[in-house]
Amino acid sequence: MTERTAARPSVRPRSGRRPLPPLIFLLVLAVAAGAVWWTVVRQDRARQAEEAAACASAEEAPPALDPGTVSVRVYNATDEPGLAQTVSEDLAARGFTVGEVANDRSEREVEGVGEVRFGSRGRDQARFMEAYLPGVNEHQDTRATAEVDLVLGPDFTALATPEEVTAAIEEGADAPIGC
């Protein structure tokens, strides 16, 4: 048996190095890399959200149209008599093609400044009309024409001035590229 024990390699003495400090260093390095990665991802998401918000507001900006190409019917959903007639005369003076002028006969509850009602073909015309009534609500229906209904609500005071309309349209022209 002594021959066998003599043939065995001797046990190598321990080098005295501890594995714990390098493991702690690697763990700290991994945590730091994770923190950097997390910061970069958050900043990129914030940038994308800002770009999306800028594009969304650009999409909402009204297109520049000739008022003569927009056919609008004006309806009064308030208790103020003659309001639709007054507004229709103002729109006609600004070049719009005004059709019917009457009280709103629909069953819809109109709140705020009013409502622009339109069909799929009248989307651009409705957005153009929104420049004339800031804060107006939209309602898309199933009509097949490009004609737009402007329904005046209880908070309506006046149409936007020509300068305000121009500023709203130019804001849309300044939309970021790539939207």
CA distance 137 to 126: 10
Average pLDDT of the residues in 169-176: 61
Whether 153 maps to a domain, the answer reads yes
| Confidence label for 176 from pLDDT (cuts 50, 70 and 90) | very low
Is residue 26, in this structure, part of any structural domain at all?
no
136 falls within a domain: yes
The mean per-residue pLDDT over the stretch 80-108 comes to 91
The arithmetic mean of pLDDT across residues 30-53, rounded, is 88
Domain containing residue 158? 67-173
20 within domain boundaries: no
**DSSP string of 47-85, one letter each residue:** HHHHHHHHHHHHHHSPP---GGG-EEEEEE-SSSTTHHH
- pLDDT of 94 strictly over 60: yes
Structural domain contains residue 108: yes
Instruction: Identify whether 1 is part of a domain.
Output: no
Per-residue pLDDT for 64 more than 60? yes
Any idea what the CATH number is for the domain that residue 78 is in? 3.30.70.2390
What tokens appear for 81 in the block? 């008599």
127-155, pLDDT tens digit by residue? 889 889 988 999 999 898 889 999 999 99
Mean pLDDT of 73-79: 92
pLDDT value at residue 135: 87
The reported pLDDT for the residue numbered 22 is 83
In a domain, 59, yes or no: no
What global pTM score does this model have?
0.61
Q: Please give the tally of structural domains in the chain.
A: 1
Mean pLDDT, the chain, integer:
83
Distance CA 139, CA 153 (A): 13
Q: Which DSSP helix (H) or strand (E) runs through 32?
A: helix 20-60
